[in-house]
Amino acid sequence: MKVGKFDLNKDGVYIIAELSANHNGSLQTALDTIKAAKKAGANAIKLQTYTADTLTLKSKKDDFIIEGGTLWDGNSLYELYEWAHTPWEWHKELFEYAKEIGIDIFSTPFDKSAVDFLEQFDPIAYKIASFEITDYELIRYTASKGRVMIISTGIASISEIQDAVNICKDEGNENIVLLKCTSSYPAPLEDANLLTIPNMKETFGVEVGFSDHTLGIVAPVVAVSLGAKVIEKHFILDKSIGGPDVGFSLDFDEFSQMVQAVKDTQKLLGRVDYTMNKKRVSSRRFARSLYVAKDIKKGEKFTKENIRSVRPGFGLHPKYLKDILGRSAKSDIAFATPLKWSDIEME
């Protein structure tokens, strides 16, 4: 499966830098962040396309006030989204700039109007946010565009995840990536449950990845070791600029370290390999083998005293020791000589 020109089966792990609200209201900061994400090693920059009015109602009733130990407690939903949104009039310039410098760019639409708006930019994919996975009509409409569907599963039940996959397939769209996600900001390590990643792959039969809200870079590395083919992480140009997502975003140095750690993890994982390649064959010279431990005369019996399993590995395999003990030497054999079958009277 490919995301743009990136082949998830051949090219490694696809790393997405989530811009989200980390422009903090500045178009120039958004542009600079895209450039920095490219330099840090991200394969893609991802936007979020909504307005406060497409997400919620302008109300301060209790239902609309954020609580529960988040970074945004006390704000209304409308206030948060008004603060955090990426102005739609920026999108054209952001898409053009990303394409100009050679980094993939796409977005998370939060309603059908956002999908219609984004279509003009020919995005390589669409992302469905965790809190929108229950909006089946949005998923259906987005999937109908035939682009790669990357779906976060943070608040979904297993049946809702299956529904989302089925909806995409019903629309003829088989290009699906499910992201394990913990919808806490930041997410505690003990809530990550990354063992779900290989289970998601087996259960739903699609590509899997990880949308990370934990602090640091350990979780993405573990996720890759468990089979994640896509990593999404919030990226901020400089934490000093602040903003609603700064508390769980990586800056340039941290993101660069994460990218390198992910690449190192890919190298370490390699592939299932039992072949006797040149390096292994060469290293076997340091393995144990059977050597003459004392001078042996012709006709003398081989014993545990005059034959030993020692390094290096130029003699017979140690597994033959029991077969050789008690047999006779065909000729004189000097101390520290590797034992050969031609030295042994087989009778």
- Condensed to tens digits (0 to 9), the pLDDT of residues 10-30 reads 999 999 999 999 999 999 999
Contact 207, 259 (CB under 8 A): no
Question: For residue 55, what are its two tokens?
Answer: 């997400």
Question: For residue 108, what are its two tokens?
Answer: 């998370």
Q: What is the C-alpha separation between 284 and 312, in angstroms, rounded? A: 8
**307 has pLDDT over 80:** yes
Mean pLDDT throughout 319-330? 97
Amino acid 306: pLDDT: 97
- Condensed to tens digits (0 to 9), the pLDDT of residues 43-56 reads 999 999 999 999 99
Question: For residue 195, what are its two tokens?
Answer: 């063992």
Q: What's the chain's average pLDDT?
A: 95
Count CB-CB contacts under 10 A for residue 322.
8
**347 has pLDDT over 80:** no
Q: What is the C-alpha separation between 3 and 338, in angstroms, rounded? A: 57
φ, ψ for residue 217 (rounded to 5)? -125, 5
Exposure class string for 196-206: b at 16+ Cβ within 10 A, else e: bbeebbeebeb
Percent of the chain with pLDDT over 70: 100
Q: Which domains are present in the chain?
A: 2-50+85-269 (3.20.20.70), 278-345 (3.90.1210.10)
- Condensed to tens digits (0 to 9), the pLDDT of residues 178-226 reads 999 987 778 889 999 999 999 999 999 999 999 999 999 999 999 999 9
- Condensed to tens digits (0 to 9), the pLDDT of residues 126-162 reads 999 999 999 999 999 999 999 999 999 999 999 999 9
- Condensed to tens digits (0 to 9), the pLDDT of residues 218-271 reads 999 999 999 999 999 999 999 988 888 888 899 999 999 999 999 999 999 998
**124 has pLDDT over 90:** yes
Q: Which contiguous run of DSSP H or E holds residue 243?
A: none
Mean pLDDT throughout 34-49? 98
Count CB-CB contacts under 10 A for residue 100.
9
* pLDDT band at residue 74 under the 50/70/90 scheme: confident
Please state the three-class secondary structure of 136-168 as a single string: HHHHHHHHCCCCEEEEECCCCCHHHHHHHHHHH
**276 has pLDDT over 80:** yes
Amino acid 18: pLDDT: 96
- Condensed to tens digits (0 to 9), the pLDDT of residues 79-107 reads 988 988 999 999 999 999 999 999 999 99
Q: What is the C-alpha separation between 161 and 204, in angstroms, rounded? A: 8
Report pTM.
0.87
**281 has pLDDT over 80:** yes
φ, ψ for residue 260 (rounded to 5)? -65, -40
281 vs 114, residue with greater confidence: 114
Amino acid 250: pLDDT: 95
Mean pLDDT throughout 155-176? 97
Amino acid 242: pLDDT: 84
Which residues have a Cβ under 8 Å from the Cβ of 290 and sit 6 or more positions away? Answer: 307, 308, 309, 315, 316, 317, 318, 320, 321, 324, 338, 339
